[in-house]
Amino acid sequence: MYHIYLWIGLIGLIGIIIIELYNPIWINEGFANLVSVGDSAIWMKWMPRRGDIGLEPTEEENGYTRDIRYFSGYTDVQRLGQNHDFCRMIQNSTDSKDMFFACALGGTEGLSSVNFRTPSTKNGFILSRDDYMNNLGEGRAGYCRIIKTGSDQFEAKCNSAGDHLFRESLQIDTNPPDKIKRLLYFYDGITFWLRFKDDIVDYAKNVIIFKGGDIEIDEIPKEITRGLFFNGIDQYLRIGDTNEMRFGSSIQLKFLRGVSFWVYFDEFTNNAKIFDFGNPNQPSVFCGIIGRGNATTQQDIKYKCQDESQKTIPDMPSGQQCVIVQSPQVAMINTRANIEEYDCPSPEIFGRIMPPLIEKHAKPNEASTADLLYEIWENKNRKLHIQLKNVFPLKKWVHIVITATNSDAFKPDLDFYQNGVKIYTEKNGWLPQMNETTNNYIGKSNTANVTSQMDNKDELFKGQLFDFRGYRIPINDKKVKDTYQWGKEELGLHND
């Protein structure tokens, strides 16, 4: 009888070896989880990192691709006491709607790398770009992210790691990392958040986006972003909170208390609008520039002292020479202007028109700054007009915040910030009172087609935008400064 059991065990072992050699994916990975590894150094040496799945995105088994915009890296979900498990977001190559988070477990070289996983997006798994791994108190790292849990409400929640996969139920992360705490602070009161870092989506999940002129963004994440580029010819965005691309459902302009954005002008196109929320041929609220910017004036030019070569006249016959200077009175006597006495005048001498040694006026294309223009309209009646001089530099990032300072529904004070510094306060300002707007543009004017090509036509914005936000609550001074600092880090402006 014992010989029979021995033969059965031997045949089973041979079968497992054959399966592992020819199709290891059939064998459930993570057999190490059947034992409690703990912090034993003896066990850890038998659990090396996965060598076939790692930091390179191309190192995925057949049928799957990695989305490198989400968390990827080594962590500990097996309770090894050491980061030997490689976790990342992957997608089924044949079904773009099938995405899930999976870990290739340390010590399971050659076995399936996708068995230890979360549910799929096809089964209700919620994605978030603000994702991370965090120890949830069980000695294992859970998969966490910032998730929208209600109207304008966001929380850090996690799928904790079990013995064989991530649990489906979500739990609140009561101690997220500092970078997540800062993002949660930014989410407070948010109505739309278009980061334009490596995607064109609303992180507040209220806005639908239409992309005009085939505008696209590089989706490969980089340490330093350049934002979303607009070509000034045919590219713009139209946004709305319904499929009809309107505002009025989850976003109403009369409840919008603050906007924040980074902007970079490649060129001051005529009357360019950074955003214009309104109706056809009729703005409601917009922020942009006046004309083509401000040309450098005579007072703005800093001259150096003239050297001697600019003070002397070259010897004849080359170069500019002195000419006869005569008054109009003399010219009336000895030139053809004297119609009474001069019968045979001598050849006239005309002074040369000589260019100045130094240009005294800037050329039209030398505008170095532009004014900020912010207006609010209702039924073609302008309710608010604010013009701030030289706020926008050319070819340089600048951060702008426009915010109400109190909860007054009609005429709150309005603060204007440039690069984290308050530059102007409009006392008893105005808020839009429109319930619904149909044409909500970024990079385009609602009045672009009102005038003809021969008139002072509004042109499309040419440049880059980054981190465009709208808030339903006033943006306080601390959040302004924190937002400015966060943007500087993302744009690599640490030393600017």
State pLDDT tens for residues 184-230. 999 999 999 999 999 999 999 999 999 999 999 999 888 899 999 99
Nearest to 483 by CA among 466, 463, 496: 466
**Looking at the predicted structure, is the pLDDT value of residue 84 above 70?**
yes
Q: What is the mean pLDDT of residues 328-347?
A: 63
List every span in the chain annotated with CATH 2.60.120.200: 189-296+364-491
Q: At 98, is the pLDDT very low, low, confident or very high (cuts 50, 70, 90)? A: very high
**Average pLDDT in the chain:** 84
Q: What is the mean pLDDT of residues 3-21?
A: 62
pTM of the model: 0.78
**Residue 448 near residue 457, CB atoms below 8 Å:** yes
At 412 the pLDDT is: 95
**Residue 89 near residue 70, CB atoms below 8 Å:** yes
At 48 the pLDDT is: 79
82-96, 193-207, 303-317: the lowest-pLDDT one: 303-317
At 34 the pLDDT is: 35
**Looking at the predicted structure, is the pLDDT value of residue 36 above 70?**
no
Nearest to 34 by CA among 94, 108, 89: 108
How many other CB atoms sit within 10 Å of the CB of residue 448? 19
**Looking at the predicted structure, is the pLDDT value of residue 355 above 60?**
no
Distance separating alpha carbons of residues 328 and 350, to the nearest angstrom: 13
**Looking at the predicted structure, is the pLDDT value of residue 345 above 70?**
no
* Six-digit token string for 132: 């991370």
Half-sphere exposure of 115 (CA within 13 A, CB side): 17
Distance separating alpha carbons of residues 470 and 148, to the nearest angstrom: 16
374-418 per-position pLDDT tens digit = 999 988 899 999 999 999 999 999 999 999 998 888 899 999 999
CATH number given to 189-296+364-491: 2.60.120.200
* Six-digit token string for 202: 């609303």
Distance separating alpha carbons of residues 80 and 33, to the nearest angstrom: 9
At 21 the pLDDT is: 45
Q: pLDDT > 90: what percent of the chain? A: 59
**Which residue has tokens 């992180």?**
203
Cα 67-68-70 angle, rounded to 5 deg: 85
Q: At 158, is the pLDDT very low, low, confident or very high (cuts 50, 70, 90)? A: very high
Nearest to 250 by CA among 152, 127, 153, 155: 152
Of the chain, the end-to-end C-alpha distance in Å amounts to 83
**Which residue has tokens 């034993």?**
40
* Six-digit token string for 192: 């739309």
Residue 481 DSSP symbol = H
At 29 the pLDDT is: 42
